[in-house]
Amino acid sequence: MWASELGIKSRWLDNQLRANLAVFYYDIKDYQVERSFTPTELFVFNAPEVTSYGVELEFYAKAFADFELEATFGFTEITFDRFRDPNSNENLAGNRPPYVPKYNYLIALQHQDLWGLFARVELVGTGKTYFDDFNTESLKQNAYEIVNTRLGYSIGPVEIYGFVNNLADNEYFTQKFSFRSGVPGNPRTYGIGLKLGN
């Protein structure tokens, strides 16, 4: 793979405001393509040529003394330049390789007071994703978003918190094998956690 990347990092206001930008272009030979049939069965083929390019953005701001805002965004355009199905010899050039979402992003707001109490809410988004190299419409996952929350207390290297992930209990797939079968994403999940150290 020939990888070309260009980026810029910036810091302002005594590191309370940060913004990073990166663009990339990858020219890939013999790209490995996974074709899944069941959760335990898959075949791997090599696509002779694949091109991928995109952009990544990161932003952080400490808006007030107790509030922090984080945001990340990534966009990826990727296509087969040369690839034929090893079984049927069908030309798949121009299709999108599986398991690569069109975009992903995270927006998070966190509040922490002087006594160590904190609250955090996240919006996590994932763009349209194909799960096969034929880009079959019934084997794709449309764009979706989930909301995660966390409430807890931290002092020094110790952090204890309660969390709820996928607050709205949105349904989505992380993998599909046919129209009616696949690997579903995590449903609404909640619990408590303990973190020691940085």
Query: Is 38's pLDDT higher than 80?
Result: no
User: In sequence order, what are the residues at sequence separation of 6 or more whose Cβ sits closer than 8 angstroms to the Cβ of residue 194?
Assistant: 158, 159, 160
Dig out the tokens for 115 from the structure.
């006594």
Mean per-residue pLDDT, 181-190: 92
- Is residue 98 a contact partner of residue 131, using CB atoms and an 8 Å limit? yes
Q: What is the mean pLDDT of residues 117-146?
A: 95
Residue 179 binned pLDDT confidence (cut-offs 50, 70, 90): low
What is the tens place of the pLDDT at every residue in 82-117?
999 998 999 999 999 999 999 999 999 999 888 889
Considering the entire predicted model, what is its pTM?
0.87
Task: Report the C-alpha gap between 109 and 123 in whole angstroms.
Answer: 9
What pLDDT does residue 33 have?
93
Instruction: Give the pLDDT score at 174.
Output: 92
Residues forming a β-bridge with 18: 11, 60
Q: What is the pLDDT of residues 145-154, one digit of tens each?
A: 999 999 999 8
What domains, with CATH codes, occur in the chain?
Answer: 2-196 (2.40.170.20)
What is the distance between the alpha carbons of residues 22 and 102, in angstroms, rounded to a whole number? 17
Residue 130: closest CA among 83, 79, 84, 176: 176
Burial class (CB in 10 A: 0-12, 13-18, 19+), 163: middle
Name 71's Cβ contacts closer than 8 Å, sequence gap at least 6: 57, 58, 59, 60, 105, 106, 107, 108
Q: Which residue has better confidence, 114 or 190?
A: 190
Residue 116 has what pLDDT? 87
- Selection from 146, 137, 147 nearest residue 179 by Cα: 137
